[in-house]
Structure 1
Amino acid sequence: MKTLILIGALLGVCLTQALADDSVNENNQGNDGGNSHQNVNINNQEHIANIHNYNSWNGWDAVWDYSMELFATRLFSKRACIVAKMNKEAFPSLEKLSKFKDQKPAKGTPPPPSLRFSISKTRVRNVAQFGRPIDKLCNGVPTYYAREYQGEALFFETQGCANAGILGLFGIYLCGNISGC
């Protein structure tokens, strides 16, 4: 009986580490004097990262669902939600997100890698098709699909784009006019 209890305790410790959730906080003092604060919560068991960008009206929330290979960003200023396919080669892994909390970029470090997405003008009719986490984020809000820009289109201006990336680690630019907002 003692052996079973010992084995159970060891299994509990091992599983706790494997299924643990992580939280990453990032504060950034911008060049224009503005502040931005982000919180990244990682659910290793469900392979999901929830990102909250606290920046008043320009704030946003996002879900990165690694199981569905999708991400969604709810832009408060646009009163809209954007869903797009993850580029598995470019998006940081959950492990890298978890380790980011212990790293601070040195001065003079080049800007983080980024991806740009073009927002379609057509609204998504069934948000539930993207899974429960994205449905919860986007439910009741006009939702649009976006596609990653490829090739030369990567060099266009970021004016008119919402930056929905993780400060200092990874940039995501969601670009386009959203009709009806």
Structure 2
Amino acid sequence: MRFTICFTGLLGVFLAPAFANYNIDVIGDNNSSGGGQQSVSVNNNHNLANIDNDNGWDSWNSVWDYGAGYAATRSFAKKLCIVHKMNMQVMPSIETLDALVKENKLQGKGPEGPPPNSLVFSVNSNQVNDPSVFGKSIVSMCKGIPTYMAEEIEGSSLFYNAEKCFNANILWILGVSFCGEVEN
């Protein structure tokens, strides 16, 4: 009995790093108004990445469900959730994101590198009736708040007034803008 408990404990100690989530904290990342903190967690077991941007009323969080192929961003100020298909040609793969987080390559790095990739989305003003098609993680995050679908706008975004866009920049690797007006 003691051997089983000891073996199980040692197994847990050695396997824990294989199943761990890795985080990066970024202070003053200029995502909204020059302050805040952002953390990225990668869960390889579930093919998920979670990004939390803590900046007072401008806080938001995002989940990237690589398995389902959808991402969702929840804005606390706007009290809504926006879902979109993941553009894997622009968004980093989970392996790339995981490697950057594990190696802390983004820790303390700023805009000195190449400009980030960017995505601009047009938010549909009709609420999503059945968010379950986007996967469990997105349903969990968006449960109980108005949820809208967004479609990527290819090419120039000159047609949108920047004041009507909500920006959810991911560290210094991806700029994301959600444009359009929805009523809650």
List aligned pairs for 1:1-181, cutoff 5 A.
13=14, 18-28=18-28, 30=30, 34-101=34-101, 102-103=104-105, 104-105=108-109, 108-153=112-157, 156=160, 158-179=162-183, 181=184
Report deviation, 1:26: 1.8
Task: Give, in whole Å, the separation in 2 of the partners of 1:107 and 1:166.
Answer: 12
Task: Give, in whole Å, the separation in 2 of the partners of 1:163 and 1:38.
Answer: 14
CA distances 1:133-174 after superposition (whole Å, capped 9, x unpaired): 100100110000000001234785533211112121111111
Report deviation, 1:39: 1.2
Question: Cα RMSD between the aligned structures?
Answer: 2.9
Q: 1:29 to 1:80 in 2, by over 3 A?
A: closer
Whether the 8 Å contact between 2:82 and 2:149 is mirrored in structure 1 is yes
Task: Give, in whole Å, the separation in 1 of the partners of 2:27 and 2:89.
Answer: 26
Report deviation, 1:41: 1.3
Whether the 8 Å contact between 2:32 and 2:58 is mirrored in structure 1 is no
Residue range with higher mean Cα deviation, 148-157 or 135-144 = 148-157
Counterpart amino acid of 1:63?
A: V
Whether the 8 Å contact between 2:31 and 2:168 is mirrored in structure 1 is no
Task: Give, in whole Å, the separation in 1 of the partners of 2:29 and 2:22.
Answer: 24
Report deviation, 1:25: 1.8
Give unpaired runs (5+ residues) of structure 2: 1-6
Counterpart amino acid of 1:34?
A: G
Give unpaired runs (5+ residues) of structure 1: 1-5
- TM-score normalised by length of structure 1: 0.82
Whether the 8 Å contact between 1:28 and 1:167 is mirrored in structure 2 is no
Q: SS at the partner of 2:91?
A: coil
Residue range with higher mean Cα deviation, 19-28 or 102-111 = 102-111
Whether the 8 Å contact between 2:53 and 2:61 is mirrored in structure 1 is yes
Residue range with higher mean Cα deviation, 108-117 or 143-152 = 108-117
Report deviation, 1:96: 2.2
Task: Give, in whole Å, the separation in 2 of the partners of 1:48 and 1:77.
Answer: 24
Identity, in percent, stands at: 38
CA distances 1:113-145 after superposition (whole Å, capped 9, x unpaired): 110000001100111221111001001100000
Task: Give, in whole Å, the separation in 2 of the partners of 1:31 and 1:46.
Answer: 27
Q: 1:149 to 1:140 in 2, by over 3 A?
A: same
Number of corresponding residues:
174
Report deviation, 1:98: 2.4
Task: Give, in whole Å, the separation in 2 of the partners of 1:151 and 1:172.
Answer: 14
